[in-house]
Chains A and B, each alone.
Chain A
Amino acid sequence: MRFFHNTKIRFMEYRWYWIIASTALNLVAIGLIFFAPGFKYGVDFAGGTQLTLKFSSEPDLGRIRNALEGLKLGEVTIQRFDEANLHQYLIHMQNPAGQEGDFTAHMLQALEKEFGGGTGKIEINLQGSDALRDALAQADPDQVAGTFDDRRTHYKPMADEILSLRKRAGIIKGPEDLASLTALSGGVKTYLAQNAHFGDFALLAAESVGPVVGKDLREKATYAVSFSLLGMLIYIWVRFKLQYGIGAIVANIHDTLITLGALVVTGRAINLPTIAALLTLVGYSTNDTVVIFDRIRERLKLERGKPLITVMDEAINATLSRTIITSGLTWVVVLALFIFGGDVINTFAFVLVIGIIVGTYSSIYIASPIALGMSNWLEKRKQARRRR
């Protein structure tokens, strides 16, 4: 079986149309990123506190917002996380201007109060297993004889089982969820049904980044990305020529801008894992570009005197089937991640779903034409100097 066998597409002939289209797309992306609606930093770079909560049923977002704004700390944003039937939300609150510190506890307390908790009952969905064990030991529904520590030993496996149910399910909705737990005694089940507060939400994750660390992470990410691009440029310069290195870097910038634009359009925030995804895209795109450059270099050695534009077309055609197969396969893998991978890696997969298409295209229509244009220009200048 073979795809794209012996193609003779004259890629470079149409380069100007594609360059104009790319430039236009890049300008749109720049507009989206830097003007409206603008780049959205996630909690890693913007700072603030972000809770990931799982609710037992669809919550009233107005109540969440009111409860948190009542704290008068910072701006609150609420966003759905993952599929609708999971009732999961990301709730982000900005730190008060310039203030360090962790506001997780404040936010949780406010929400607990709003949703009927904080009354001193056992909080099934918010307490750790030690606290749960102690609460049971205190109440002692099983009437254990002995000291407090004996009671603790008695209730420990029960508390552990409740916690492990919460770890599996995310949230314990009510006493009926506890019915199937075998370690729990009948007395404890009855006691919890009457005295525990099951609450409307459980905490899946909390992240809090102060302004100092936020700034730090921003700076370090910028340095890391800039230096790694520079390293790449130098390597390609050494192995090929400067114009090829510049072509590859411009292609990388092109891919990154368009992907960032797509992130802005879909309202996704930029976090550290997003940067890792963008770097993956850059790595991928460069790989693709280097394969074509390599073939150009090889052909140039074999067929001296042939115009560069023809050599480039031949090289792109010769590698076309590998380009399509590799991109296609990688694309299928990230598409699977995008569709089935869950929300934690969704943004990551999204970056690559967009990025692989753009990255493959840019190797042919951005990196190569730039190398071609610069080579031709340098050649002309050299000839002009010789004539003089």
Chain B
Amino acid sequence: MKYFKLSKEYYPFDYHFRIVSSIELSKLAINNNSMEYAIKALPVLNNALIIDGYSPELLGPAVIINYGVGNVKEAKQYYLLFKQTAKRSNFLDFMKGQLQ
């Protein structure tokens, strides 16, 4: 994780370098169903979303993790953005069911 953060710090001009730390932490949290990782991933995700606010790759995990942590209001806001940026995704129907 340290190296992922370093990549973002030293070469922020590449999209993949910017998002890799937040994506990997989110994967850890979601795949292990771990609250501990979810709490760690949340600030990293929010920070990444300040720059890449319209990335569906980040918005998807942001909805799930915020919802898991209990930030229902933020989860719904990110869900609306996700709906805007990934209109054709099958994942949208899945999340719709989860949020309801």
| Same complex origin of A and B | no
A residues lining the B interface (CB < 8 Å):
none
B residues lining the A interface (CB < 8 Å):
none
